Amino acid sequence: MTILTLTPIAVGLLLLILPQLLPGKLALSIRKFSRNVSFGVSMALFAFATYLSFTTFGGIDWLDINMGEYELMNDKPVTLISSIGVSWIVGVDALSLPMVWLTALLIPLSMLVEWDAKEGHIFHPLILVMEGALLGVFVVLDLFVFYVFWEMTLIPMFFLILVWGGEDRKYASMKFFIYTFTASVIMLVGILIMYFHTGDVSGVSGTLTGHHFSLIEMNSEMIQSEGLRHLVWILLLIGFATKMPSVPVHTWLPDAHVQAPTAGSMLLAGVMLKMGAYGFLRVAVSLFPESTVVFTPILIILGMASLVYGALVCMGQTNLKRMVAYSSVSHMGLIFLGIATMQPLGIAGALFMMFAHGIISPLLFAVAGAFKHHYHTLEIGSMRGIAHHSPYLAAHMMLGWMGSLGLPLLAGFVAEVAIMIAFWMSFGWLVILPALTLIITAVYYLTSMQKTIFESNDRHHGILPESLHGEEPRDITWNENTSMFILGILTIAFGIFPFIFFDMMSDWSSEFVSEVLLSYLIEQGVRP
């Protein structure tokens, strides 16, 4: 896991810095190859992650990990800053493994989509650095390092938006950075409160403060006061909910998405949003199950608001990418609802939602980016019948849209159904609200699709947007096509065989509920 995290950062930084240091000729040749090297490294990491996930590597059975145990851990924590008790501990379990695989998958794909990006010798290494930071968030088990990686993801993304973004990129990148940074500082306050309540433990020796950041050694009993526990939970929630993002702290997302380059939005929607849900489960719910049970109504309200409100806002959008961005808000609401059910099935559904949304939403953004790229506009009403001109784009759009609205046999459906069933088990008839929202989802997806790729009266010609200035439009290029094709195939594959990851997710969730949550559920009178 250490290799997986540090390699991309090292290679990416090298590729960024070396040309500045070396003399002209060598620098030129490095620049020439940095795109290929970045892609090669990311592919190698993907192969490695796949090997880890799908083979019984070193005798790991992903379905047989007890709560609180991690696989592929480094044997001894490496002390990084001994004076305040920071150490390097990495490990994965069934919660993080799908996310690791997803990240390793999306990085080469998003590189591929923007294969011909201008300034490619900076663009691709930046994405590689991004990969390292994202993987770090998912595998690190030390809260200090976790926070460092958490903030580190912002930097490449900030530059991606600022340099390669749309017309309004400066505003969007600043907003993105400051907004999410503020939220994570609030989260940091929570982490620090936890830190000051830890005791000295063996393995992390010689600290000046007598505290440590190790996540595995923490538990909720370390904070005596119930009120303080709730406070920490709320602080963490603010940090994670902003990242997810949940209504009402979601407004950075549409701006960032609309202005970001295609690869940026793909990673933003595909992985960065999942950091919020992952962190919430890993830190807030795992360490403070009691507060989670007490504050379930907050989760339901946030989830419902994101789901319903996000879907309604989607209906009111005329910009394709904005609409897709808000649909992410809507789907992230389902994750909160899934967690709030406190059922193994619901949490497994939420986990699968994280994964499924992670392969579907990059497809959506790749499609939206292709519209921007080849038609120079994202206004839904400005074109009709694009399917005549860009059949591949239209096909990918249809598959992605259908996947996102939850068509059976596609990945999104599995997650939605699991969450709905669990929601019914926990809250009964309240399930009507999320279920009805799925209709709104269908409405905005179908109308946007109908208005752009279908509905032209002429059999051979669509209505082209004015932004083309009378040029003949092209279909998507080979690299976009390949990338979207892979995502589409995976959408179908995980719709038909969800158990590839769903098994380990449900295994993790049932253990999570029985080991961590159940005693508090009984204590609070939620379950008999």
Residues near another protein (CB under 8 A): 175, 178-179, 247-248, 250-251, 309, 312-317, 440, 443
Distance CA 138, CA 52 (A): 15
Q: Which is nearer to another protein, 32 or 170 (CB)?
A: 170
Q: Containing H/E element for 194?
A: helix 169-195
In 3-state terms, what secondary structure has residue 80? Answer: strand
Q: How far is the CB of 183 from another protein (least distance, A)?
A: 12
Smallest separation, CB 310 to another protein (Å) = 9
Q: Is 508 helix (H, G, I), strand (E, B) or coil?
A: helix
In angstroms, rounded to a whole number, what is the distance separating the alpha carbons of residues 133 and 199? 29
**180 or 198, CB closer to another protein?**
180
> Based on CB atoms, which residue is closest to another protein, 409 or 522?
409
Whether the CB-CB separation of 232 and 75 falls below 8 Å is answered with: no
Cα–Cα distance list, 281 to 276, 353, 430, 494, 518 (Å): 9, 14, 24, 23, 15
Nearest distance in Å: CB 312, another protein: 4
Instruction: Using DSSP, state whether 87 is helix, strand or coil.
Output: strand
Crossing angle of helices 478-496/499-512, nearest 10°? 60
In the complex, least distance from residue 231 CB atom to another protein, rounded to whole angstroms: 23
Q: Which is nearer to another protein, 250 or 389 (CB)?
A: 250
Q: Is 179 or 195 the residue whose CB approaches another protein more closely?
A: 179
- The number of CA neighbours under 13 Å toward the Cβ of 510 is 9
Is residue 149 within 8 A of residue 402, CB to CB? The reply is no
- For another protein, the closer of residues 248 and 408 by Cβ is 248
Q: Is 197 in contact with 291 (CB distance < 8 Å)? A: no
Which residues lie below 8 Å from residue 431, measured CB to CB, with a gap of 6+? 420, 423, 424
Contact 499, 416 (CB under 8 A): no
Task: Extract the runs of DSSP E, i.e. beta strands, from 310-406.
Answer: none
Taking the least distance from each CB to another protein, the nearer of 127 and 247 is: 247
Shortest distance, CB of residue 454 to another protein, whole angstroms? 13
| Cβ proximity to another protein, 83 vs 251, nearer residue | 251
Nearer to another protein, 11 or 323 (CB): 323
* Cβ distance to another protein smaller for residue 183 or 223: 183
d(CA 86, CA 79): 6
- Answer for the pair 502, 63: CB distance below 8 angstroms, yes or no: no
User: According to DSSP H, which parts of 376-498 are helical?
Assistant: 391-405, 411-427, 432-453, 478-496
**Which residue, among 254, 400, 378, has the nearest Cα to 322 in the 3D structure?**
254
Q: Give the bridge partners for 71, in sequence order.
A: 92
Q: How far is the CB of 182 from another protein (least distance, A)?
A: 10
According to DSSP, the β-strands at 78-81 and 86-88 are: antiparallel
CB of 527 to another protein, least distance (A): 27
Provide, rounded to whole angstroms, the least separation between the CB of residue 432 and another protein: 16
Counting Cα atoms < 13 Å in the Cβ hemisphere of 101 gives 18
**Least Å distance between CB 128 and another protein?**
32
- Closer residue to another protein (CB): 323 or 386: 323
Count of beta carbons in the 10 Å neighbourhood of residue 206: 9
- Closest approach of Cβ 266 to another protein, in Å? 23
Nearer to another protein, 320 or 521 (CB): 320
Which C-beta is closer to another protein: that of 149 or that of 309?
309
Distance CA(257)–CA(259), nearest Å, equals: 5
Secondary structure of residue 342 in the 3-state scheme: coil
* Residues 6 or more apart in contact with residue 520 via CB below 8 angstroms: 289, 290, 292, 293
Q: How far is the CB of 251 from another protein (least distance, A)?
A: 4
The distance of closest approach from Cβ of residue 256 to another protein in the complex, given in angstroms and rounded to an integer, is 12
We find the least distance from the C-beta atom of residue 179 to another protein, in angstroms, to be 7
From 369, 355, 465, select the one nearest 166 (Cα to Cα). Answer: 369
Measured CA to CA, the distance from residue 197 to residue 288 in angstroms comes to: 14
